[in-house]
Structure 1
Amino acid sequence: MRPIGGRWNPRADFEQTVLDHDPSITPGQFMKAIAAGDHFFATSSSTPENDDYHRVMLRQLGVEPSSQLLADLRREVPPAVFLETYPDVEETLEELSRRGVRMAVVSDAWPNLPDLHAGLGIGRFFEAYAISAVLGCNKPDPRMYHHASAALGLTPAQCLFVDDDPELVAAAIRLGYAGRALCRDSAVSDVPSISSLTELLDFF
């Protein structure tokens, strides 16, 4: 899946939610706050708590992180408001499932990822999730990969790991998994790659 508008974090409604509480914030201030949030994310050993992440940006904005504002920033909205799947995703997952391929998700994400997938209509394809905010570590920590394969009852050698970050695919290969980097817009020479999810069908 991909974020509508191109930005994963913060969610696409972050600016408007904050402006509803303090309409004086400027676009330049938001840019600096989001950069501070990115730094906080990058230096965390695991996916941080949602509220902690928002507090970093709100402090940069000089906005009081009140309980009401934090609640508004994490309120549930339909996934289709800010997320969409790539055109090849659902039909490929459907066909893989039809062929008996068992699937799990390994993601640096918050605990609500299964709900987001369900809202997008793809949650039914996955038997297990290895989520950084739940496990307390990020990829390429081996625990992330091993949690997913163990949940499926498979050895690393029985699994194919797919990610859009070639370095994470290389880490999986070093752990004994087969791997493919999903590079929709560019070719990668360091690790085996595919340009479309549909190419996975050739392996099964």
Structure 2
Amino acid sequence: MRIRGVLFDAGGVLTRPVGGRWNPRYDFETIVLAHHPGLRPELFAPAFAVGQRVLDAGPGTVERARYHRAILAALGIERPSAALLWELEAPAAGPVIEAYPDVRPALEQLRERGIGMSVVSDNWAGLEAVFAGLGIAGFFAGFVISEVLGCRKPDPRMYAEGSRLLALEPAQCLFVDDDPVLVAAARDLGYRGVTLDRGAAVTGDGVVTGLAQVVRLVVHDRSPF
């Protein structure tokens, strides 16, 4: 079967974080220190590690508020004020993520060729609005978000929903992710798959370094299984 659709991961494939860090977002320390100016800066890194363990612990994506509370507790803030929690949950003053420079050209080329596209991301609800702010949401038939679906990749339901949004069979879809384990899981389910490693020195063995290569794979139908 020819490739008729592409399932994209979001972070590391289509977008990157402003400030160089995914979680928590770049203004976390500034907000917390405004409420608790006596906190020592060196406490944040180990507290972030605690938060990451909370994110990694369950089969689904935990609520953002629970994640923030775990970090705050590790900082010694057991009873955070409602104002602090609200600020951490509120939209940031500026962009939190940005699209890689090669994203729009690649999406435009795929759309011109009639290729359907969806986003399959381990993320919190609201990603579609973020993509709308970046001006790229309209390229996608839909978004599969782990917090909404209640599971994370490599749960088969994540992939299945991505191809369902395109009304395609797995064998008709290419899955693109920056995690080779998740790409391997997609292949096991019958999808074609490539790992996008933007920092790789060389390509090959199912690894690409940019979206232009993904477009070429789709156009020439040479993606690996």
Q: TM-score range by the shorter chain?
A: over 0.9
Matches of 2:113 and 2:197 in 1, distance apart? Answer: 24
Please show how residues 21-32 of structure 1 align to structure 2 within 5 Å: 21-32=35-46
Q: Counterpart in 2 of 1:114?
A: 128
Q: Counterpart in 1 of 2:26?
A: 12
The Cα of 1:6 is off from its aligned counterpart by 1.7
Q: TM-score, normalised by structure 2?
A: 0.86
Matches of 1:10 and 1:113 in 2, distance apart? Answer: 15
Q: Counterpart in 2 of 1:130?
A: 144
Letter matched to residue 40 of structure 2: T
Q: Counterpart in 2 of 1:195?
A: 209
Q: How many residues align?
A: 202
Please list every run of at least 4 consecutive aligned residues from structure 1 whose deviation after the TM superposition is greater than 6 angstroms: none
Q: Deviations over 1:69-112 (max 9, x none)?
A: 1111010136x622111111111111111221110000000011
The Cα of 1:5 is off from its aligned counterpart by 2.2
Greater RCO (Cα-Cα under 8 Å, separation 6 or more): 2
Please show how residues 3-152 of structure 1 align to structure 2 within 5 Å: 3-63=17-77, 64-77=79-92, 81-152=95-166
Q: Counterpart in 1 of 2:190?
A: 176
- Unmatched runs of 5 consecutive residues or more in structure 1: none
Letter matched to residue 15 of structure 1: E
- Tell whether the 8 Å contact from 2:203 to 2:209 is kept in structure 1 after alignment: no
The Cα of 1:25 is off from its aligned counterpart by 1.3
Cα root mean square deviation, aligned: 1.4
Matches of 1:5 and 1:148 in 2, distance apart? Answer: 29
Residue aligned with 1:2, SS: strand
Distance 1:188 1:33, change over 3 A: farther
Letter matched to residue 99 of structure 1: R
Q: TM-score, normalised by structure 1?
A: 0.94
Q: Which structure has the highest helix share of the two?
A: 1
- Unmatched runs of 5 consecutive residues or more in structure 2: 1-14, 220-225
- Tell whether the 8 Å contact from 2:47 to 2:71 is kept in structure 1 after alignment: yes
Q: Counterpart in 2 of 1:156?
A: 170
Matches of 2:84 and 2:108 in 1, distance apart? Answer: 39
